[in-house]
């Protein structure tokens, strides 16, 4: 297939490109590079369109002669979406609408939307699954719910085969431009700074290593569904914030790390983990990297990258 990855220069896109390079697919990337450096060297990536999904003309150009779109481009930070909901809406909802409209115009038959689990589902009965009722509590979650709605509509009206993938909390290499707990903790440890915990640390998430997630995306790419379908890509394992932090500290072998407890932030889900059963049954998706191994691999990448940047 000829595949377009929007946001292909970002964290997940960079890791996905590595896996797709081992296949016979031809890959094109659309990115505006506004999120900065992921740590992945894209200088040798042959087919890159620099543009913004908020501009329909760029979307139409990027989707010409394409068989499938993997739509990763988005503003994905909950706190930022609360500070600037308009920017979040324009990037996520308007951007997704533009890509879908361009796919319809250029006859793209396959579309994969990167959605979210926790931010979309809000505080609901666990584990969440594809039958859970979405109840977003942040503009980011609401924007992803709107994107899912447009996917359902375009699939029905224009006969586009769409898989909506609700990601758990993703971590791993090439995540320099990602604002997230794992990166923040690792940076703070390297800089000998204290680690901030919002709340008492008992909040839980489902953490999935990026290589596992990318395999799930590729399996969804090859899934011969008709219409629009939804899958949660997660591990099904509930991990507390403080447990994750302690795992990273143990992995780093650093001592004297101070943890500061601050007030809980508005718009963040208290507890969330997802059931991977549907993805396992229909996509043959099963994560194979446990938290300890994933954190170890990410820490090793962080050390290499941190050391390189320190020496520049």
Task: Please identify which residue in the block is written with the tokens 């971590």.
Answer: 171
DSSP 134: P
Q: Is 140 a catalytic residue?
A: yes
For 195, the 3-state DSSP assignment is: strand
**Angle at CA of residue 100, ends 85 and 135, nearest 5°:** 45
DSSP 66: -
Question: In the chain, what are the helix, strand and coil shares in percent, each to the nearest 5?
Answer: 40, 20, 40
**Angle at CA of residue 105, ends 103 and 109, nearest 5°:** 45
Tell me the two tokens of residue 145: 């719910």
Q: Are 243 and 205 within 8 A, CB to CB?
A: no
Q: Are 180 and 169 within 8 A, CB to CB?
A: yes
For β-strands 48-50 and 259-262, DSSP reports them as unpaired
Q: Are 244 and 296 within 8 A, CB to CB?
A: no
DSSP 201: S
Residue 208: exposed, middle, or buried by beta-carbon count in 10 A (0-12, 13-18, 19+)? buried
Q: Is the peptide bond before 86 cis (omega within 30 degrees of 0)?
A: no
Out of 140, 171, 174, 209, the active site residue is: 140
Q: Are 305 and 176 within 8 A, CB to CB?
A: yes
Tell me which residue of 81, 71, 65 sits closest to 163, measured CA to CA. Answer: 71
How far is the C-alpha of 270 from the C-alpha of 79, rounded, in Å? Answer: 14
Tell me the two tokens of residue 308: 């390189």
Q: Give the residue numbers annotated as catalytic, written as ranges.
A: 140
């Amino acid at each position: 297939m000829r595949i377009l990855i929007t946001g292909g220069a970002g964290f997940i896109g960079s890791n996905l490109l590595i896996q797709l390079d081992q296949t016979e697919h031809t890959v094109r990337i659309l990115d505006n590079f506004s999120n900065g450096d992921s740590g992945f060297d894209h200088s040798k990536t042959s087919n890159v369109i620099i543009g913004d999904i908020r501009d329909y003309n760029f979307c139409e150009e990027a989707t010409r002669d394409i068989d499938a779109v993997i739509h990763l481009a988005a503003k994905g930070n909950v706190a930022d979406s609360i500070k600037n909901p308009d920017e979040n809406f324009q990037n996520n909802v308007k951007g997704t609408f533009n890509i879908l409209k361009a796919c319809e115009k250029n006859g793209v038959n396959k579309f994969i939307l990167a959605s979210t689990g926790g931010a979309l589902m809000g505080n609901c009965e666990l584990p969440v699954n594809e039958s859970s009722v979405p109840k977003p509590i942040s503009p980011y979650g609401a924007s992803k719910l709107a994107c899912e709605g447009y996917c359902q509509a375009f699939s029905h009206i224009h006969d586009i085969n769409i898989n909506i993938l609700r990601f758990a909390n993703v971590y791993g290499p090439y995540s320099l431009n990602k604002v997230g707990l794992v990166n923040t903790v690792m940076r703070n440890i390297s800089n000998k700074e204290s680690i901030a915990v919002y709340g008492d640390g008992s909040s839980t998430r489902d953490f999935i290593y990026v290589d596992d997630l990318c395999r799930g995306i590729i399996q969804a790419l090859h899934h011969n569904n008709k219409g629009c379908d939804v899958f949660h890509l997660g591990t099904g394992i509930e991990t507390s914030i403080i447990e994750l932090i302690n795992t990273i500290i143990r992995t780093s072998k650093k001592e004297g790390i101070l943890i500061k407890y601050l007030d809980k932030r508005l718009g963040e889900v208290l507890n969330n983990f997802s059931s991977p059963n549907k993805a396992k049954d229909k996509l043959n998706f099963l994560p194979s990297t446990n938290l300890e191994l994933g954190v170890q691999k990410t820490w090793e990448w962080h050390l290499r990258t941190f050391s390189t940047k320190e020496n520049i």
